[in-house]
Each structure stands twice: as structure tokens, then as C-alpha cells.
Amino acid sequence: MSKTRIYEVAKELGMNSKELMEFLEKELNISVKSHMSTIEEETVQAIKDLIEEERQAKKEVKKQKEPPKEKKKTPEKIKVKEKLEEEPVEEKPVREVTITTQEITLDILAKRLELEQNDIIKDMFMKGIVLRPGQKLDKTMAEDISMSYNVILNFEIEKEEAEEKEEDVEVILAKKWNDIYEKEKDKLAPRPPVVTIMGHVDHGKTTLLDKIRNTHVADKEEGGITQSIGAYQIEYNDQKITFIDTPGHEAFTEMRARGAQVTDIVVLIIAADDGVMPQTIEAYNHAKSANVPIIVAINKIDKPNANIELTKQQMVSKLNLIPEDWGGNTITIPISAKTGKGIDELLEMIILVAEMQEIRCIPEGKARAVIIESRVDKAMGPLGTVIVKDGILKVGDDFISGSTYGRVRRMINDRGESLKRAVPSTPVQVLGFNDVPNTHSIMYVVDSKEEARALAEKIKEKEEEKSKGPAKRHMRLEDIMQK
């Protein structure tokens, strides 16, 4: 069945779109959204019939020179009828003008209509509508004003949507990576696990990490001023494991919210002489919400007052984690970060869990990395420690990271060595940022310095807008799940 646009029908009937829309609503119970909506030929015919009926009735009345019979009519019906009879349509040509919904203010509309803003204000005033210069108009208002000048507004919704999507460069980039993951499923390769140690204050996180590092970092003799870059990689039984030294619980969730979860496994450390403490619970909750496997390390078992059994009981009662040897499925390893007891077993378990996790990456191509630490160095300028998630980060790569950007000038690993390339899961300190990057933001390698600058500026603008403007719902990266 053929369809006709409201404004076309209205024109044919000598009404404006709004009147026709009201008429349809009242008389035929049909609601239409805009003058661009379509109605069926059948409906058009029904309207015509209705109007014709009215006309005939009127003629009859005239013939009999009698006053017309008082029919039950809605004010709208009378209005439409009067309009038909008394106001023959001016045969002004109807024009169409395109406008985006984001930009409707009176001055812009005036320009689009090729009219003076003041003339519109005057004309509308005569119709009882008070407008002020530059006033923001809603769609219907803009349509009504335009219709009174015989202009049909076409709203460019597609363009608007495109702009909406463009809003968040980081969202686009995250999506792009999701797509690459989808497309290159078969080409994904394993990468070393990234492990974060979490736990209550003083339960031995740093001591454990130091111990692991001292025991398992090779060739310390040469080149080696050991750098503290917030993360490091060890090798155990020919398998690499990356550890993050400075988790900070906030950081943990923030990284997750940005879409590239940096941690694959959490080691939750609980001191056997202190048991489950508030921050143990907090850490556990973060790990749980990030949906990463948790290995419990019960530490300080060398201490005389260590109570492994009590700690396990608390794991059950306070965290609802049941140790494997109690019939549950939480890998629980008693260790001493001080003496080194149990640490090998812990590392073996990390590797085992990692294998079960199938931790994968895109092994080639442009890199994407997570900033885990940043600062300014007096001599070297802004520095960011990153862990490469995908691709290969190379010296000379142009990149963005939130609203900062730059070119990789130098990369230094946790052993103080300069690297030309960093493969997935490698932690490196990067020199070459234009400014200090936000910790936990994602670094994306792009095609050129110009692109990097342009994207970073766009992000900056948006950030400034967001901090100024009213809260608007933006798509969060969290909403777009990715590996």
C-alpha cells in the first residue's frame, strides 16, 4: 500500500502539518510523530471523506438557507474545517531545509530559513509566541516556525548519531581492539600472565615480591642497576610471569573500567599471625568483581604465632573461600616471604592457573598497553610505566594515552636495560610523553604524530567538556567487554 508524508497530505488539504496531526489524533485516533512521518493511502482517503462530508453538510445547509445543524465537533475539527473554508492555501512553494537537532537556536534557524531573526520574532509575536534572540528551540517548535514560512525542516539524525559515537575516542579505540580480537581469533597467541599481589597492610606483599625477584631474576651481574618501575618480570621454569608491585585497590577497578584489565591473576596474601583483616576483604572484593582467579598465599608461616588453620577458618567465614585441602576450590598455599618457604609452589600454581586461563594476546602489529605508573623525572621528563597488552611496542611508535600523546623515545625494562621492542606482558618504562599520562589509562599506538595529537586533543576537549557540563550518560568502556 502506498504511503504519503504528512506534510504532503497537509499541503493537499490546505492545512499545516501540525493541524493535520492534531486532526488525525482527535478524529481518527492516529498519532504521528512528525511532519515527515508517512500515513497510508487508506487513511488519507478517510480524512478526505471526512472533510468532504463536512463540505456536503455545509452545502446542504446553505441550500436550505438554514443555520447549520449543531454537530458534535471538537474544537480541532472546527479549526480544520474553518481553515479549509476560509483560508485557501497560499501557493507559496514549499522548501526543504536540512538542520541537525543539536544546533537549533533561533539565530541558526533564521539563517537556515534565510530570514532575519528579528522578523521571525516579530511574526511569531503576532501569533502570540514570544521568542528571544538566540533562543534554543526544541524540534517541534523549530518545525512549527519553519512551517509558518512554508519550509519543511529535515533533521539530520544520522549525522547527529555519528557525532554521538565520535564523542569518545577511547571508546572507539577499545571497540576497534574488540573487533580485532574477534577477527583474529585464530591468530591469538599465549602471553605471560600478569599477576597482582593484594592484601592487608603489612601482610608481606613487598617482601614477597622482593623475594621472588631476588631469587628468580636472571643475570643481575651485568648492566644491572635494578630499576624500580612498579612492575617486573621473572622467569620460573622457563615461563615468564609479570608482577605488578603497586596495585592500589582503586587502581585495580579503574583499570578494569577502562576496558583493558591488566591483571590476569590475583594473589591474595593473608598473614598467618593476623588473619583476614578489613583490607583483605576489600582486596578480595575487588578481585572478585574483576572476575580473575584468586590464589591465596598464607604468609609469615615462619612466625611462632602463625596459625594456618585459623586463617583458613577465617577464609571460609569471612570470604566464603574454601581452601582446596578443605574440599573447596581455592588454591591456598602457606608461604614465608622471609625464608622463601612455599614460594616455588606458589609460582608453580600461578603458572598452572595461567595455563587454565588461556591468557592470550594479539602478538603482532601496533601495540596497546596499560599505564600502571607515571611521574615526571627532572632529567627525562614525563615517564610512564606500561605493561604491553597486545602487539609490539617499538621505539619510534607514535601513541596516545588519554589526553596525552607522544613518540616512544626510549624504553627501559625492570633491569635498567634499554629495549627496542616490547612484546605482550612486558613491563617497560616509556620516555616520550608530552605530559604525565593518567595512571591506568590505555596507551594506543597510532599511525602518526599528527593523528596522535589530534586524537589526544579531542579526548582533552571531551574531558574538559565533561568536567564543565552536566552529567551526560556516556558509554563506559566497561560496557564493552574485552579481553
> What residue numbers does the annotated binding site for GTP cover?
199-206, 245-249, 299-302
CA dihedral of 390, 396, 402, 404, whole degrees rounded to 10:
160
Which C-beta is closer to ligand GTP: that of 83 or that of 205? 205
Considering beta carbons, is residue 309 or 450 the nearer one to ligand GTP?
A: 309
Sign of CA dihedral 431, 444, 261, 257: positive
* Contact flags string 234-273 toward Mg ion, x per CB under 5 A: ----------------------------------------
Determine whether 218 is exposed, middle or buried from the number of CB atoms within 10 Å of its CB (0-12, 13-18, 19+): exposed
Q: How far is the CB of 427 from Mg ion (least distance, A)?
A: 17
C-alpha 43/C-alpha 39 separation (Å) is: 7
Annotated binding site: 199-206, 245-249, 299-302
SS3 assignment, position 199: strand
Q: Does residue 428 contact residue 409 with C-beta atoms inside 8 Å?
A: no
Nearer Cβ to Mg ion (10/231): 231
CB 303, min distance to ligand GTP, A: 5
CB of 259 to ligand GTP, least distance (A): 28
In the bound complex, what is the minimum distance in angstroms from residue 316's beta carbon to ligand GTP? 22
From the CB of 272, what's the least distance to ligand GTP, in Å? 9
The residue (of 167 and 302) whose beta carbon lies closer to ligand GTP is 302
Chain positions contacting ligand GTP, by CB under 6 A:
199, 201-207, 299-300, 302-303, 336-338
Q: Does 74 bind Mg ion (CB under 5 A)?
A: no
Q: Tell me the three state secondary structure of residue 399.
A: strand
Q: Which is nearer to ligand GTP, 138 or 210 (CB)?
A: 210
Window 188 to 227, contacts with Mg ion (CB under 5 A): 205-206
Alpha-carbon distance of 405 to 325, in angstroms, equals 50
Residue 337 binds which one of ligand GTP, Mg ion, none, with CB within 5 to 8 A depending on kind? ligand GTP
- Amino acid identity of 223? G
Nearer to ligand GTP, 296 or 431 (CB): 296
Q: How far is CA 247 from CA 55, 230, 251, 431, in A?
A: 81, 9, 7, 22
Size of the site for Mg ion (CB under 5 A): 2
Q: Count CB neighbours of 439 within 10 A.
A: 20
293 binds, among ligand GTP, Mg ion, none (CB under 5 to 8 A by kind): none
Residue 460 interacts, among ligand GTP, Mg ion, none and using kind-specific CB cut-offs from 5 to 8 Å, with: none
Task: Output 201 or 310, the one with its CB closest to Mg ion.
Answer: 201
| Least distance to ligand GTP, CB of residue 299, Å | 5
The H or E element containing residue 157 is helix 157-166
Q: Minimum CB separation from ligand GTP for residue 283, in Å?
A: 10
What cell does 483 get?
579481553
Distance CA 461, CA 467 (A): 10
Q: Which of ligand GTP, Mg ion, none interacts with 338 (beta carbon under 5 to 8 A by kind)? A: ligand GTP
Cβ proximity of 17 and 6 under 8 Å? yes
Instruction: Residue 473: count other Cβ atoms within 10 Å of its Cβ.
Output: 5
Burial (CB count <10 Å: 0-12, 13-18, 19+), residue 219:
exposed
* H or E element, residue 132: none
Ranked by CB distance to ligand GTP, the top (closest) residue is 204
Residues at the interface with Mg ion (CB under 5 A):
205-206
